[in-house]
Amino acid sequence: MITLALFIIAICGLYLYGKRNRKYWELKGVKHDKPLPFFGNRARSFLAQICITELINEFYWKYPNEKVVGMYGPFRTELIIRDSEISKRILISDFHYFYPRGLNKDHIEPLLRNLFFADGDIWRLLRQRMTPAFTSGKLKAMFPLIVERAEKLQLRALSAATAGTEIDARDLMARYTTDFIGACGFGLQSDSLQDENSAFRKLGATIFHRGPRDIVVFMLKEIFPTMFKSFKLFSAFEKQILHLVDEVLRQRNYEPSGRNDFIDLLLECKKKGTIVGESMEKIKPDGTPEVATLEMDDELMAAQIFLFFAAGFETSSSATSITLHELAYHPEVQSKVHEEVDRVLAKYDNKLSYDAIKEMTYLEWTFKEGMRIFPSPGFLIRECARKYTFEEINLTIDEGVRVFIPLQAMHNDPKYFDNPSEFRPERFDSANFDANNKYVYLPFGIGPRACIGERLGLMQSLAGLAAILARFSVRPAPSTVRRPLVDPKSSIVQSVKGGLPLLFIERKPSN
């Protein structure tokens, strides 16, 4: 009887715990859906029935007349932003209220102490030290490493074109991106474009693979963050990446090698010594910030390399393959891209170069249009650091409320982009682009927490697209799906389910 009573008490306690704070949006007069115990409104995303981006999109379109929409996660109260001016304040003008992403609530795993996941002083000091590592000069010095991979990309596409077989553009561009990361990140010749069973390619694929264990661990960390803080989301990958970084550092004797790759840039950052700056989190009694410090040790370097690998691998390969997919269905746009690529390369002895890529403006518009239709990050995420009031809607939210800015929905909202389903690169001609959409079109984010590698990612992606389109036309394959489904296991970075098969047809550049 005592055991049964304890069991009933435990179940009741868990039920009440799962229903805590479920009146938050009702009391504040914010439109929302009724939440479930434990899961809130997120049951389907946790069970991998729908990805979080699509779930946020549903809320966005369900309440078209609202500037904000309430949502409940299993542990946090959440708010979806439907207004570009409010987004602007969150990301820029009132950034000091929304500087955290809030992805590490009570414990930061070693690999997550990087620029994307870290908050507060760790983030600020890392950003302060690493920003100079992404100057135009340093990026230009990396470009020869990109050209080598772009040429191998052409060879792999040529083998498929010669055989007349379809090729998964998603896998093709992922292999190109993986080889780029190997060269520019680690100084390694991974050669996944030639080796079907490349170990480096498999390593990249494991980052975003979510098996049953990963889903359960993620759910437990969200619902009971303190109890399960020691459970690691990247346990298998962590050992491999730490070992790989250790090997590369020892080969270089912990000194820059002159390769101008990412590890060289981090070693240069480390040589500058302790990072010192004003604290975002600790204030002296007189109101001035305390001094914050951070050591760039090997583990912290490995965390940044993990980010370089994860962010570069998934976002770039997704964005470039989606662009090729759209070009396959829009031959008139593809013809314009071909004309520009041929014309610009003719000026540079038909060789890819940093300056040539900078001149391919229509190609850049096309790539940006691809990212508008299907942005790799389906949303931006922030957490309220202290009580904040949205004056125009008379809404005050508390510290800890998670905020979503739904890029996928806003990029495809006719309120911001006319006829959004139309693939039209000319939208990004400076003469046509609506300046108000500067705070809507945000594939790389904006403000102090914008992607530090935006220019590098853009350069690498455009080089890969130029290499393909200089030699090939792309067409839909027999198995191509016009509107591919989103993988329901996608997280912040969304990816398509089942790949993007296309036919690559060799072409001769026009004179």
Integer angstrom CA distances of residue 394 from 67, 130, 187, 387, 466: 11, 39, 53, 13, 49
Using CA atoms, how far apart are residues 392 and 406, in angstroms rounded to an integer?
A: 20
Torsion sign over Cα 350, 356, 361, 364: positive
Using CA atoms, how far apart are residues 303 and 111, in angstroms rounded to an integer?
A: 4
- Tell me whether residue 184 is annotated as binding: no
- DSSP label at 305? H
Kindly give the residue spans of alpha helices, DSSP state H, lying in 329-390: 331-347, 354-359, 361-373
Pairing of strands 275-283, 388-390: unpaired
Could you give the maximum distance between any two Cα atoms of the chain, in Å? 89
DSSP 175-199: HHHHHHHIIIII-----TTT-TT-H
DSSP 287-298: SPEEEEEE---H
Element (DSSP H or E) covering residue 266: helix 262-271
Residues annotated in the binding site for heme, as ranges?
A: 451
Residues annotated in the binding site, as ranges?
A: 451
